[in-house]
């Protein structure tokens, strides 16, 4: 769970906002619920949690209607300048293989969400990508596409103009977000496959020995020391309650992840997690209820789906049962809340969450 272990700079969120602005989405709409202010994004010393950026990405996906291939489009905008010191260090490695090892060693300084694994398969160098657990299908697909497309960009910049990927495979799945877009980009010069068994990209292993033209051992040594120091500064050790909120907020599914899934994500046992939450004055059940209530308010307020469809997405068998739960959470039925969100009347949100 590398993205939960390290904070990150504001550059990636800025790219998401710029990407949304080109599609007519105001920054305020994309930042809603993330706890990020616009002024923070102009501060190079600002550090954000991964869950905050995931909330911004989730807002983007919902606003655009979850179009297929959006992560591929987004990933094309990630270049060396996006990554600062981490990207600069790549260029100063002696070979492309050394640069790849560097990238994976200091991946906590990138904006990746996937766990990335390298393997040599005969004449191919293969990178495998695994989205973090607990994300919705749409969010998991987006971060996999984005991380892979960004990697293809960087490999192309390191490898030179003649570099070409041998394969760019996206995991097959059901639903619109897994379908092939009308005109998909070709990351790293490869035609993407949308029927893969996993997320992976591959290139000829011979490129690993390619010498890099800007390699400088003294600069590399300096970059390595600074990257180690930066990793330590950005390491995040949140309390259990904050970790649980971060995990729960990264999913826009109506059914919250289980305590066991959260414990696995934090590399601990359910018993230890319960004890840590208790010391923080929280419980998984209460935190899950708060996130569920917040998600319901967000879906109702967006007005993209009918109330019956929102009830279905939240896992309720009928609109009536969902309305009862919504009134318990927010003090008003969802229809009144939606009118208030439009400005047609008071929303009456109470801010209390019953379990």
Going by pLDDT thresholds of 50, 70 and 90, the confidence category of residue 254 is low
Is the domain 240-342 a CATH 1.10.10.60 member?
yes
CA quadruple 229, 77, 184, 58: dihedral, nearest 10: 70
pLDDT digits (tens, 9 = 90+) for 308-324: 988 888 888 899 999 99
pLDDT digits (tens, 9 = 90+) for 320-344: 999 999 998 888 899 988 877 555 5
Percent of the chain with pLDDT over 90: 48
More confident residue, 252 or 302: 302
pLDDT digits (tens, 9 = 90+) for 123-176: 999 999 999 877 888 999 999 999 999 999 999 999 998 999 999 999 999 888
pLDDT at 354 over 50: no
Distance CA 49, CA 223 (A): 24
Is the domain 2-233 a CATH 1.10.1060 member?
no
pLDDT digits (tens, 9 = 90+) for 15-43: 999 999 999 999 999 999 888 998 889 88
Instruction: State the pLDDT at residue 15.
Output: 93
Distance CA 246, CA 264 (A): 14
pLDDT at 48 over 80: yes
Domain ranges of the chain: 2-233, 240-342
Q: What is the mean pLDDT of residues 188-209?
A: 95
Is this prediction's pTM over 0.75? no
Instruction: State the pLDDT at residue 217.
Output: 94
């Amino acid at each position: 769970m590398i993205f939960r272990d390290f904070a990150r700079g504001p550059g990636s969120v800025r790219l998401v906002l710029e990407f949304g602005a080109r599609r007519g989405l105001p920054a305020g709409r994309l930042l809603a619920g993330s706890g990020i202010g616009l002024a923070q994004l102009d501060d190079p010393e600002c550090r954000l949690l991964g869950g905050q950026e995931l909330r911004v990405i989730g807002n983007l996906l919902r606003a655009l209607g979850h179009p297929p291939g959006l992560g591929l489009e987004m990933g094309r905008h990630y270049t060396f300048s996006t990554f600062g010191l981490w990207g600069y260090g790549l260029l100063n490695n002696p070979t492309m293989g050394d640069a790849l090892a560097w990238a994976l060693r200091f991946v906590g300084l990138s904006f990746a969400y996937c766990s990335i694994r390298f393997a040599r398969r005969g004449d191919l160098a293969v990178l495998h990508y695994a989205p973090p657990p607990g994300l919705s299908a749409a969010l998991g697909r987006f971060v996999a596409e984005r991380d892979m497309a960004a990697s293809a960009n960087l490999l192309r910049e390191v490898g030179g103009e003649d570099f070409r990927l041998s394969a760019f495979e996206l995991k097959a799945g059901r639903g619109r977000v897994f379908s092939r877009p009308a005109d998909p980009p070709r990351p790293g010069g490869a035609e993407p496959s949308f029927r893969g068994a996993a997320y992976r990209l591959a290139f000829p292993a011979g490129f690993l020995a390619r010498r890099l033209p800007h390699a400088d051992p003294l600069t590399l040594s300096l970059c390595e020391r600074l990257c180690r120091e930066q990793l330590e500064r950005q390491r995040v050790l949140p309390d259990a309650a904050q970790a649980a909120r971060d995990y729960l907020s990264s999913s826009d599914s109506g059914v919250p992840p289980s305590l066991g899934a959260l414990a696995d994500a934090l590399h601990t046992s359910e018993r230890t997690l319960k004890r840590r939450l208790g010391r923080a004055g929280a419980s998984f059940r209460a935190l899950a209820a708060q996130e569920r209530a917040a998600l319901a308010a967000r879906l109702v307020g967006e007005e993209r789906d009918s109330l019956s469809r929102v009830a279905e997405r939240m896992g309720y068998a009928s609109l009536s049962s969902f309305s009862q739960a919504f009134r318990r959470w927010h003090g008003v039925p969802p229809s009144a809340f939606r009118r208030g969100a439009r400005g047609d009347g008071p929303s009456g949100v109470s801010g209390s969450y019953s379990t």
